[in-house]
Structure formats: C-alpha cells, structure tokens
Amino acid sequence: MLNWLRKLRSASAERKLLAWHVPGRPVWPMRDPAAFAREGYGRNAIAYRCVRLIAEAAASAPLHVGPEDHPLTNLLARPNPEQTGIELLEAFYGHLQVAGNAYLEAACIGEDAPSELYVLRPDRMSVIPGADGWPVGWEHRVGSSVRRFERDPLTNDAPILHLKLFNPADDWYGLSPMEAAAFSIDRLDQGNVCRIALYGGDALASVTRMELLDGANAFAIEADGEWELIQAEMCELVAPGVYDLSGFLRGRLGSAHAMRAPHAVGARIIKMDRRLARADVGAHEWGEALKFIAPPSEMLPTSARAEAATVTLPHAAVRPWAPAHVRAARAASGDVLITWVRCARLGGDSWGPGEPPVGVPTESYVLEVLDGSDPVRTEATDLPSITYSAAAQTADFGILPGSLHIRVAQVGESGATGLNTELTITL
C-alpha cells in the first residue's frame, strides 16, 4: 500500500493530470456485496467474529514509514477527519473479508499530494473495463450521485487502490468468503435460527435429513401477502409452546419469491399438517370476493364463537414458477446466448426420462434486459433460450456490455407472466 501511495503522488514530484475519455461502462459484481454485509456479517455471530479478528489483527500490524517526517506518517495517523489510521485499516480489511473487494481512495486538491484517505463501500463501487478487458477506472455511485475515478493511461497511476481476494472466475472482482458460504446456505440454511410460538398444536420434533428431504416439518410463513414454504430439520423446545427452528430448506414449492432476510417479527407461521383443510373453490370463484366462516372445532358455522372474513383469492398457485439455472455466454461474433431451465409446477418430481409437463397450454417466456431498474429490451420466445445479438446490444448500450442484468419469467394460462428470476451475469 505504501508503494502505491508513494507512486501515486510523492511530495517532491510534479505531475500534470491528463483528462481523457474512458471507453467503457461500469460492470457490477454478480452477487450483491450489501447482502454479504447484511446477511453474512451483520446477522451471523460466527462470521462477524471471524471478520473482526482478521481486520483487527491486520490493522494492528505496525507500519514503518521513513524518514520520520515523511508526509505519509501524518496521513496514516489521521487519514481523514472521521477516522484514525487504525479505524481506516480495520474498515479496509473488513470490507475485503466481507465483500472480497476493498477500495481505498487517495483524495487530493488539484495537483497536490494526497491529503486524505477514505475507504469506499464495495457495494457502491464498480469496475470500468477497457477495450482490452483490463480495468481503466472505477465508478462510485450513491443514489443519483456518480463519481468516476480514472487511471492515468501514461503512468498507470490511479486515485483508487482496489484490493481483491483471488477469484478464478472473474477478472475484475474478488471472491467473497461469504459468497462460498451463501451457495451452501442457498441449498440448506444451517446458519439461521427462527424462534416461533405455536398455539393449540402438537409438540414439534426434530427429524433426520432423509425425513426432511421426504417432506417432514413443513411450515408456511407470511410475507407481505405471500407465503414462503419452508422445512426445518431441528426443532428445539425453549419454553412452553416456543421452539427454535434451524436447518432450513427454504423457498419450497416455488415460494422463493416470498423469502425474506429476515422475516418480520410477529409474522404468522402455520404448521403444514393433516389438520389443514383444503377449501373447495370453483374455477369461476378465483378472483371473486368469498366469505369464509371458521367455527371452533366440532361447532356449527352459526356458533357465536365462529370467525368470519371476506377474502379474494388470487389463485396464486397457478402462477408458473420462476425459471432456474439462467446462463449467458458470449460467442466470438459478440452475440450472447441466454438459456434457462423451466421449473415445473406440476409433475416435476418424476425420475423418468423426458421433460416434465409444461403446465400451461403453450410454452412461452418473456425476457427483459435491464439498465439499472429500467428495461431496455423485452423479448418473447417459445423456447427456454434466446440470442441477444451484438447489434441489439450496441443499440441498447452503445457498446458490447461486460455484463447483463436480465429478468425472465414463464407466461401463464391467462397470458400474465409468472414468478421471475432476476440477476446480473458477467460475460
């Protein structure tokens, strides 16, 4: 780091700044660094402690600068008005462990030597690749405010030190230790614990892994009018009627869209068992206001203790599930082939050969290419794939982008799109 600062701007050197145009667009990382900080660090005591230990140990290592009156000595002791040198380095190394990337800005006035140092949040930074694929700058975005930091094309000096952990699959971003853990959690969540209170139900019990995979211990958790279906491997009684659930399979039966991190305190949870009765709703009654009456057990609907409610059922169960395994690869021509796998809502559990049933009369999909949150291109297709031509990419972005932010959904019976998958893919 000291060599970088000395090369960037020594006190005795005079160097003119060259204004130049960066021919590229920022490329954002595939996974959200803010999610790593929120879920992996902020809500996981073990990960939090590990990151703190590493960051504190690295920041406490003494840095020797000579001669003693070198301007860098004072800069490292008090890098900016808000932080000491130790605090700055702890933040720098902490971001590196959480996001796999850490960014240090050397701020100066005009052509003066750097007067302040700042650690920039990785979720606000993006790399700007040049025509040869190597980074030529960085973009820092906070709301509508955007700053660009450019590398000097003659000296290769830059006002940003970007330190990243080894990532064999990405030229521009490091691999977060949290990301490797997230892939495991996405399949079997062994990091979170959910405390629930059940009323009037039987006792809960833990199950074996095989019993879990066979459908045991299923629950529905309400989330903003939707319901996430989960299963829990471990059920620990901590008080009468109160349990700690852990070892989750989440987003079951196409309910991944209702996953929350975390679910709100006080959210309703229902044990999915034999006591649940299925309402007999006719095809013409979906979307209509229906009156439901729930009397106490073994009492008539006319009982004074019966509860009544009028609800409109949206028939959410018939929505096509979100496509999975979305992939994109650029050909030598510049065209990008985008593919995905349909998730079968009905008949998808067969182990036999062949494709599962489509579930709707006609198989069709809608794919959107996004710039930020705004669609720049919408395409319909009857196949689980589409080719995004180089000409179309240039028309939409001005260049061939280094990554694509896409959203894809299957079209349902009514012509409305089902649940979607949205992600950014580095090409």
- List, by residue range, all CATH 2.60.40.10 domains of the chain: 324-426
Compare 192 and 124 and report the one with higher pLDDT. 124
Is the pLDDT assigned to residue 351 strictly greater than 70? no
Residue 135: the pLDDT is: 86
| Contact (Cβ atoms closer than 8 angstroms) between residue 241 and residue 285 | no
**Nearest alpha-carbon partner for 95 in 125, 51, 138:** 51
Residue 101: the pLDDT is: 94
Q: Angle, nearest 10°, between helix axes 45-60 and 85-99?
A: 140
Select 324-426's CATH number: 3.30.1780.10, 3.30.450.40, 1.10.10.10, 2.60.40.10: 2.60.40.10
Within 10 Å of residue 400's Cβ, how many Cβ atoms? 14
In this predicted structure, which of 11-20, 221-230, 379-388 has the lowest mean pLDDT? 11-20
| Contact (Cβ atoms closer than 8 angstroms) between residue 142 and residue 148 | no
Top-ranked range on mean pLDDT: pick from 154-163, 194-203, 412-421: 154-163
- Model confidence at 181, pLDDT cuts 50, 70, 90, reads low
Residue 280: the pLDDT is: 79
Long-range contacts made by residues 106-115, C-beta under 8 angstroms, separation at least 24? 106/5, 106/8, 106/9, 106/159, 106/160, 106/161, 107/80, 107/159, 108/9, 108/159, 111/14, 111/15, 111/16, 111/17, 112/9, 113/9, 113/10, 113/11, 113/71, 114/5, 114/8, 114/9, 114/75, 115/75
What pLDDT digit, counting tens, does each position of 302-320 carry? 898 999 999 888 777 788 8
Residue 397: the pLDDT is: 92
Averaged pLDDT, 79-98: 93
> How far is Cα 182 from Cα 316, in angstroms, rounded to an integer?
29
> How far is Cα 1 from Cα 85, in angstroms, rounded to an integer?
13
- Model confidence at 62, pLDDT cuts 50, 70, 90, reads confident
Is the pLDDT assigned to residue 25 strictly greater than 70? no
Compare 287 and 355 and report the one with higher pLDDT. 287
> How far is Cα 294 from Cα 222, in angstroms, rounded to an integer?
19
What pLDDT digit, counting tens, does each position of 70-84 carry? 888 888 889 999 999
Residue 58: the pLDDT is: 93
Compare 191 and 207 and report the one with higher pLDDT. 207
- Mean pLDDT (the chain) is 83
Residue 86: the pLDDT is: 93
Averaged pLDDT, 246-270: 86
Percent of the chain with pLDDT over 90: 33
Averaged pLDDT, 250-263: 83
